[in-house]
Structure 1
Amino acid sequence: MRRRTFLGMSSGLGIVATGLTTTPALAGGRRPDLTVAVDGSGDHTGIQAAIDAAPAGATEPFVIGVRPGTYLGQVVVPATKPFLELRGLGRRPDDVVIADDRANGTLKPDGTPWGTSGSASVTVSGADFRAVNLTFANLFDEAAHPEITNRQAVAVLTRADRLIFDRVRFLANQDTMYVNSSAAGVVARVHLRDCYVEGDVDFIFGRATAVFDRCRIHSLNRGSTPNGYVTAPSTDITNPYGLLFQRSRFTSDAPAGTVLLGRPWHPSNDPNAIGQTIIRESWIGAHIPDVAWSDFGAWPWEEARFFEYRNAGPGAIVSANRPQLTDGQAGEYTAAAFLRGGDDWAPERC
């Protein structure tokens, strides 16, 4: 089950794993246009209020600085508000926590369930969004709600293009991070650097093109076998780029050989969702077994686009069950290629 002390330092291990420092978030950045503070010392006391006050149709970044504290309540960044930045003003990502506590099966006031997308603590539909130096979490407590069987509880749902997450933690259990797009066949790119993502079942999933660079991917121990699945991509067949993990660390407290790297998700049995997960030049712990990929219902993992390349660690096994990129393929499946698109987007320069 999930550790409940994450508002303190327990999940701050992601900082150590990715080499993050305690340099203040303001270093090298423009001054916030608005400030949020739980104690009333800023322009707003809530995240959504600040987003509502931001200008629509912006063509340059609008920075919302968030002072240390815990901010509860669902947050939505609408498509009408591009170029928003949420910047944690603490010294570490765990100083600012933005969270909610609903699951797929949690009931709305009208008695109907929220569903997986509706469970998201934070939904980002505005393009060119950036989050820096903070934590997003879904606090849904599985043990406290045995009556809820649909336990997908999303911390962040992305639907827009050209998103950046820099030194951000994502915390939940099932379906932590839903990287999606506005519609099937529409490409949406996401770049994550020096981030920490934790969960258990399918906790990084969706059809977006997402690059995880120097991130720590931590699988929780839920006390079962299998203990969970790291990814569940649903990449559209027309998109050559799905989920890419490079120079990252895959860790867990679960027993050896009990966590799988992923399985191919076909939403509504969509035959065109040919998921892609590529893990390259990363460290993989002993929680990952020789047979590292799994079928998803009737959909076999062998038909998905699952590959590894030059990984290390006790779970980095090269065998017939672990498809590997050739050197030539590895030269094509790079972070730059995943993110470039038709507009030559280069987030490492942003």
Structure 2
Amino acid sequence: MKTNISSALLLSLFCSFAYAENYDAIVSPAFSSQDESAHHYSKITQAIAAAQAAGREHYTIYVKDGVYNEKFEIKVPGVQLIGQDRDKTIIEYNSASGMKRPDGKKWGTSGSYVLRVSADNVTLKNLTVRNSFNYPANDAKPQSDPTKIRSSQAVALEVNKNANHVKVEQVVMDGYQDTVLVKAGSTTYFKDCVVKGNVDFIFGGGTAVFDHCNVIARNRAAGYIPMGYITAPSTDVHTPYGLVFINSRIEKEAGVPKDSYGLGRPWHPTRTFKDGRYADPEAIGATLYVNCYLGDHLFGWDKMSGWTKDHEVQWFYPDKDARFFGYHNYGPGAKNMSDGHKLPDHQGKQITIAHVLGGQWYK
């Protein structure tokens, strides 16, 4: 009996060492301060700091199952953040645009992220990123309620400006308004992911491919029609591709009615120019759906407002102020893709992942 126990212990120790050698750092909520070392941490932010200190070309962090109440930015190129189980390895934080930061200032939309990627060649895999701001409860409050958050944008994942070759695989991005933000100059590949949200919940000026992803429109308090919009791109007119969905499913939660969501609307962000501050005229947003299932909640494209130099409302329309197209889509919502927004074969056939992302770095 003693021999068997000893053998089992040795096998366990051997497996632990071999397991640890596969990763540069391991994070677990079960680790105590006594466990923390050059390889073991109780917080993801500690492992990110270790990656920065190491200065390596590649640094792999393995995150064990658990709920990590952390808000952080990855500034180190070549970091791989890999979860144990997509639905059980959860990074979450409660931060909305109109909420106050510890210093008393408001987060703002861009600052409301849970996880921000600000470096090249970063990989996120097999985990959930959730903004836990209680949008439904806030949404249900009357306008007269002083506790109602007026700016309810709450980003889960943000890919920062000019962060290139970012890979997001088997990741759930869970939020409501503005769930995923990809900023101008960035390139991101989303593979086998789930994105949940309602208002403009995939947005920004970056180039991103969503390959075999499930995009889920969430239910909302009664009385809101449209309930929301899948995309709000602000792609620069000189950038050929913006938000591209390939072989994906644009679905809905239970209770979401027919014809209640727009495929996208053109976001012209307010910027400061030499002659004043107004909606960017060169943000000719681009969204493209290729070989996608479109659910019955999708009514087509929609308009979006911005501001003129004289602080007056200006409307931007999908037919002339955006690049909104589809190719070979199917499902009940596909019928609402008007002919003027369908790519001809000679253009549709060239829409491959490598073509959009500018190479095969995503493999």
- Superposition TM-score tier, normalisation by shorter sequence: 0.7 to 0.9
Q: How does 1:70-219 map to 2 (within 5 A)?
A: 70-78=67-75, 81-90=76-85, 93-145=86-138, 146=141, 147-159=148-160, 160-181=163-184, 187-219=185-217
1:59 Cα deviation from its structure 2 partner = 5.8
Q: How does 1:316-335 map to 2 (within 5 A)?
A: 316-317=334-335, 320=338, 323-335=341-353
1:241 aligns with 2:241: yes
5+ residue gaps, structure 2, are 1-20, 142-147, 271-278, 306-314
Report the Cα distance in structure 2 between the residues aligned to 1:319 and 1:168, rounded to whole angstroms: 28
Report the Cα distance in structure 2 between the residues aligned to 1:83 and 1:324, rounded to whole angstroms: 38
Partner of 1:286: 296
Report the Cα distance in structure 2 between the residues aligned to 1:286 and 1:322, rounded to whole angstroms: 20
1:95 Cα deviation from its structure 2 partner = 1.3
Aligned residue pairs total: 305
Secondary structure in 1 aligned to 2:316? coil
Match of 1:310 among 307, 311, 328: 328
Secondary structure in 2 aligned to 1:301? coil
Report the Cα distance in structure 2 between the residues aligned to 1:320 and 1:122, rounded to whole angstroms: 37
Which piece of structure 1 moves more, 150-159 or 317-326?
A: 317-326
Report the AA paired with residue 233 of structure 1.
P
Q: Rate the CA distance shift 1:325–1:58 in 2: closer, same or farther, 3 A.
A: farther
Secondary structure in 1 aligned to 2:22? coil
Secondary structure in 2 aligned to 1:329? helix
1:320 Cα deviation from its structure 2 partner = 3.4
Q: Rate the CA distance shift 1:129–1:319 in 2: closer, same or farther, 3 A.
A: closer
Partner of 1:270: 280
Match of 1:258 among 257, 260, 276: 260
Report the AA paired with residue 73 of structure 2.
V
1:58 Cα deviation from its structure 2 partner = 4.7
**Residue-by-residue CA offset, 1:283-339 (whole Å, 9 max, x unaligned):** 1111112xx111111111112100001111111116536610111111233211111
Report the Cα distance in structure 2 between the residues aligned to 1:256 and 1:161, rounded to whole angstroms: 37
Report the Cα distance in structure 1 between the residues aligned to 2:178 and 2:337, rounded to whole angstroms: 29
Partner of 2:311: none
Aligned 8 A contact 1:308 1:322 in 2: no
1:247 Cα deviation from its structure 2 partner = 0.4
1:208 Cα deviation from its structure 2 partner = 0.7
Report the Cα distance in structure 2 between the residues aligned to 1:320 and 1:208, rounded to whole angstroms: 25
Report the Cα distance in structure 1 between the residues aligned to 2:73 and 2:218, rounded to whole angstroms: 27
Secondary structure in 2 aligned to 1:312? coil
1:200 Cα deviation from its structure 2 partner = 0.2
Aligned 8 A contact 2:156 2:175 in 1: yes
Report the Cα distance in structure 1 between the residues aligned to 2:350 and 2:45, rounded to whole angstroms: 40
Report the AA paired with residue 232 of structure 1.
A
RCO higher in structure (CA 8 A, sep ≥6)? 1
TM-score (norm 1): 0.84
Secondary structure in 2 aligned to 1:316? helix
Aligned 8 A contact 1:236 1:273 in 2: yes
**Residue-by-residue CA offset, 1:160-216 (whole Å, 9 max, x unaligned):** 1100011000000000000114xxxxx321001100000000000001100000000
1:56 Cα deviation from its structure 2 partner = 5.4
Aligned 8 A contact 2:298 2:336 in 1: no
Report the Cα distance in structure 2 between the residues aligned to 1:200 and 1:306, rounded to whole angstroms: 19
Aligned 8 A contact 1:121 1:156 in 2: yes
Report the Cα distance in structure 1 between the residues aligned to 2:338 and 2:248, rounded to whole angstroms: 23
1:232 aligns with 2:232: yes
Report the Cα distance in structure 2 between the residues aligned to 1:70 and 1:139, rounded to whole angstroms: 12
5+ residue gaps, structure 1, are 1-29, 182-186
* Aligned Cα root-mean-square deviation (Å): 1.7
Q: How does 1:55-70 map to 2 (within 5 A)?
A: 55=52, 58=55, 60-70=57-67
Partner of 1:15: none
Report the AA paired with residue 24 of structure 2.
D
Aligned 8 A contact 1:35 1:65 in 2: yes
1:61 Cα deviation from its structure 2 partner = 2.2
1:57 Cα deviation from its structure 2 partner = 8.4
1:299 aligns with 2:316: yes
Report the Cα distance in structure 2 between the residues aligned to 1:251 and 1:136, rounded to whole angstroms: 19
Bigger Rg, structure 1 or 2: 2
Q: Rate the CA distance shift 1:330–1:247 in 2: closer, same or farther, 3 A.
A: same
Report the Cα distance in structure 2 between the residues aligned to 1:124 and 1:97, rounded to whole angstroms: 17
